[in-house]
Amino acid sequence: MNVMISNYPEELSFPPEIEENVRAAAEKVGELYGVENGEVSVTLTDNVYIHTLNKQYRGIDRPTDVLSFALNESDEPEVADGPDVNVLGDLIISVERAKEQAADYGHSVKREIAFLTVHGMLHLLGYDHMEEEDRIEMENEQRYVMEQLGISRDA
């Protein structure tokens, strides 16, 4: 799994553990769901930037924790003789929101960042939670991946 991580705005910086945590969670999803040849771009950001994107793309005028932009949902043709890489899409994660939620839920920032990465990756793979049945399935998948990462709910 090729995981490309950047910060936006560029002047934002985060401890290396956050980037390592995102990479480990994304790679674990790739391993477990057979997309080891996948590629994902992850942008770590703050509440201001994710708020702008949430309003622009979802019509929701507030910050959120993670946004997923899947590239495999379109009807674009495959590139003949192109590289054997499955470009899954983009994740935008508000580290600021993750820290707030970790405090609210009483667990570590590591656990929250891993969870948001897993949640976003599952969206890129086509999972959703709009309908009750889909929500239950996605929650089960999230729980499974977090267990495989060795990160418990209280971590």
Query: For the purposes of burial, counting CB atoms within 10 Å of the CB of 147, is it exposed (0-12), middle (13-18) or buried (19 or more)?
Result: exposed
Structural contact between residues 114 and 24, judged by C-beta atoms closer than 8 angstroms = yes
pLDDT of residue 82: 53
* Residue extents of the structural domains in the chain: 2-149
pLDDT of residue 21: 97
In DSSP terms, 42 is beta-bridged to: 5, 91
Please, what CATH class does the domain formed by 2-149 belong to?
alpha beta
Q: Report residues of the chain scoring pLDDT below 70.
A: 73-85, 155
- Given the structure tokens 């703050």, which residue do they identify? 46
The two structure tokens encoding residue 53: 């994107």
Neighbours of 20 (CB within 10 A): 13
pLDDT of residue 153: 75
Q: pTM, whole model, 2 decimals? A: 0.91
